[in-house]
């Protein structure tokens, strides 16, 4: 690890231009590296990281949640604090309007700090929330966590203009329990715009990007006669020399880097999007300054794990479900089964529907918490499978592959890395250079395997034996997208 001293003129190739790749490129350039090339098979200059325009990486999205609330994991709580400073600075830069990225205007923001509500259907706070409150207090940030049932916290929220976020589902008016914590440090990051911003910044600092389905697609490493990796080959046959190769291919990494067997697997989360018409009063009701981002029963297994957002600037409301994650095991050339991402945009076989189980959970939630959508004739407009890269312990993986020092991975985002887009690369470059390797997160992100007898946070690589393998899943039909036609439960 960090064994080889890199010179600022050395060629570095990053494969993948998602949150990990973009941020690594940006921070390499900021630190003076002058020969950085990023390859991606997706043409981001055409899609602008917009899912609806054909971009299907985890980072290509309308919005993501940003939170400091991390239960007992104070190291991520600290990381959020650092990231929020950067997000705030990026907002300032956009507002100042100097050298804006394509498609951004001075009215845009990449970070909307209007709170994230963690709530439950139980009558008491979950242990995760209790831990968060304790640890934020210990960090001197107690006043940032507001408990919905606590009259003093409620009054504080009202004073700070965040009253709307304490009961966004109008539970009180309907005589229903409303138990949760508002993390006022959190809110929404506008993912597609943030990626475009980071891409533009990295380009301005001299990073070269090759976006093309063949010329940008990693095919294999390029080896010298001794078998050492000296670069990469693309599907178009070009060779790119490199002193360091960073594999940051999100959900595609485990099949490209089979050494990750047992450490990482790609799994699919489910997403629905509802289009609120421009003339509907619900545009106002769910606007970002009147409605927070939220997480419901986040750690409650298959019956929980929902999260959602205010409407975006095109009036689209997104809700996700991660309580069940699905896999697509496919036989690989080495005879092993590995899960492979497949979306509505994959060349060849596609997936355009959701597992029925996900849809049932979405509908149950909408019926209970957001009945005004169906009442106003709003149906689900679009669905999505979004591919995580899970590690067995839910920590990222940023390290050299074992036994050599040319190829490194920066992956394992596990459904919570996007919020760190501005600073992920700072850590990746530190690890590359061998800086302060005794930090807790650097050690957690090192190459590792599940200690014998220990229970994993995420159970990986169950192949087709899992009830959540695509072969065992039954799928929705287009008619399932209707909400209004659903009989009330």
Ligand X SMILES: *[C@@H]1O[C@H](CO)[C@@H](O)[C@H](O)[C@H]1NC(C)=O
Ligand Y SMILES: Cc1cc2nc3c(=O)[nH]c(=O)nc-3n(C[C@H](O)[C@H](O)[C@H](O)COP(=O)(O)OP(=O)(O)OC[C@H]3O[C@@H](n4cnc5c(N)ncnc54)[C@H](O)[C@@H]3O)c2cc1C
Residues that bind ligand Y (CB under 6 A): 15-21, 39-42, 57-59, 64-65, 216-218, 248-252, 256, 269, 271, 320, 386-389, 411, 413, 415-419
Within its chain, how far is the Cα of 113 from the centroid? 17
> Which residues 10-39 are close enough to bind ligand X by CB under 6 A?
none
Among 231, 288, 292, 329, the residue binding ligand X under the rule CB under 6 A is 288
Nearer to ligand X, 73 or 114 (CB): 114
Q: Which is nearer to ligand X, 213 or 467 (CB)?
A: 467
**The entry of ligand Y, ligand X, none that residue 162 binds, CB within 5 to 8 Å by partner kind:** ligand X
Residue (of 398, 390, 442) closest to 416 by Cα position = 390
CB of 21 to ligand Y, least distance (A): 5
168 binds, among ligand Y, ligand X, none (CB under 5 to 8 A by kind): none
> Applying CB under 6 A, which part among 84-92, 270-278, 374-382, 464-472 lies near ligand X?
464-472
Q: Which residue's Cβ lies closest to ligand X? A: 289
Q: Which does 392 bind (CB under 5 to 8 A by kind): ligand Y, ligand X, none?
A: none
Q: Does 146 bind ligand X (CB under 6 A)?
A: no
Instruction: Rule CB under 6 A: say whether 113 interacts with ligand X.
Output: yes
Distance from CA of residue 93 to its chain's centroid?
23
Phi-psi region of 216 (alpha: psi -120 to 50; beta: other; left: phi over 0): alpha
- Taking the C-alpha atoms of residue 53 and residue 266, their distance in angstroms, rounded to an integer, is 23
Task: Provide, rounded to whole angstroms, the least separation between the CB of residue 358 and ligand X.
Answer: 16
CB atoms under 10 Å from CB of 220, counted, come to 11
In terms of DSSP bridges, do strands 407-411 and 244-247 run parallel, antiparallel, or are they unpaired? parallel
Residue 329's nearest CA partner among 128, 430, 470 is 470
154 binds ligand X (CB under 6 A): yes
Encoded tokens for 9? 């003129």
Shortest Å distance, C-beta 266 to ligand Y: 9
SS3 call for 178: coil
Radius of gyration of the chain (CA): 22
Joined tokens for residue 413: 């985002």
CA–CA dist 280, 7 (Å, integer)? 57
Strands 208-211 and 36-40: parallel
Place of tokens 């106003």: 376
Q: Is 107 in the site for ligand X (CB under 6 A)?
A: no
CB of 455 to ligand Y, least distance (A): 23
What distance in Å separates the CA atoms of residue 137 and residue 139, rounded to the nearest whole number? Answer: 5
- Told to check if 440 binds ligand X by CB under 6 A, we report no
Can you tell me which of 151, 227, 402, 403 binds ligand X, judged by CB under 6 A?
151
The only residue of 72, 404, 440, 464 in contact with ligand X, by rule CB under 6 A: 464
Of ligand X, ligand Y, none, which one sits near residue 278, judging by CB under 5 to 8 A according to partner kind? Answer: none
CB atoms within 10 A of CB 453: 5
Structure tokens at 17: 């231009």
Binding residues (CB under 6 A) for ligand X: these are: 112-114, 149, 151, 154, 158, 160-163, 172, 288-289, 464-465, 467, 471-472
């Amino acid at each position: 690890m960090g064994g080889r001293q890199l010179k600022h003129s050395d060629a570095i190739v990053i494969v993948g231009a998602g949150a990990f790749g973009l941020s690594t490129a940006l921070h390499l350039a900021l630190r003076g590296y002058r020969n950085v090339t990023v390859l991606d098979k997706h043409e981001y200059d055409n899609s602008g990281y917009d899912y609806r325009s054909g971009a299907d990486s985890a980072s290509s999205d309308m919005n993501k949640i940003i939170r400091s609330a991390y239960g007992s994991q104070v190291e991520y709580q600290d990381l959020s604090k650092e990231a929020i400073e950067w997000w705030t600075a990026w907002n300032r830069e956009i507002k100042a309007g100097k050298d804006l990225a394509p498609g951004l205007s001075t009215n845009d923001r990449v970070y909307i700090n209007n709170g994230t509500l963690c709530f439950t259907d139980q009558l008491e706070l979950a242990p995760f929330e209790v831990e968060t409150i304790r640890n934020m207090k210990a960090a001197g940030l107690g006043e940032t966590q507001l408990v919905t049932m606590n009259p003093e916290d409620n009054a504080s929220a009202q004073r700070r203009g965040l009253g709307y976020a304490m009961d966004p589902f109008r539970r009180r008016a309907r005589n229903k329990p409303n138990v949760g914590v508002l993390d006022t440090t959190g809110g929404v990051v506008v993912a597609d715009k943030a990626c475009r911003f980071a891409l533009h910044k990295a380009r301005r600092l001299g990073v070269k990007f090759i976006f093309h389905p063949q010329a940008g697609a990693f095919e294999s490493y390029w080896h010298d006669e001794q078998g050492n990796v000296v670069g990469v080959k693309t599907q178009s046959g070009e060779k790119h020399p490199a002193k360091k190769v960073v594999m940051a291919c999100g959900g595609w990494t485990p099949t490209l880097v089979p050494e990750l067997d047992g450490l990482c697997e790609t799994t699919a989360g489910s997403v629905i999007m509802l289009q609120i018409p421009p003339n509907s009063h619900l545009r106002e009701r769910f606007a970002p300054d009147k409605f927070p981002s939220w997480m419901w029963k986040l750690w409650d297994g298959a019956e929980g794990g929902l999260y959602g957002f205010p409407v975006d600037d095109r009036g689209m409301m997104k809700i996700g479900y991660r309580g069940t994650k699905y896999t697509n095991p496919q036989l690989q050339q080495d005879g092993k089964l590995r899960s492979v991402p497949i979306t509505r945009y994959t060349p060849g076989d596609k997936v355009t529907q959701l597992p029925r189980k996900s849809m049932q959970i979405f509908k149950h939630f909408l019926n209970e918490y957001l009945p005004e959508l169906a009442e106003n004739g709003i149906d689900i407009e679009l669905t999505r499978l979004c591919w995580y890269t899970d590690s067995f312990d839910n920590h990222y993986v940023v390290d050299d592959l074992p036994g050599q020092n040319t190829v490194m991975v920066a992956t394992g985002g596990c459904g919570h890395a996007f919020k760190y887009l501005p600073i992920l690369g700072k850590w990746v470059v530190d690890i590359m250079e061998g800086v302060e390797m005794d930090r807790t997160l650097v050690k957690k992100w090192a190459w590792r395997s599940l200690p014998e007898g220990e229970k994993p946070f995420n159970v990986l690589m169950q192949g087709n034996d899992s009830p959540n393998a695509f072969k065992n899943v039954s799928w929705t039909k287009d008619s399932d997208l209707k909400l209004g036609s659903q009989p009330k439960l």
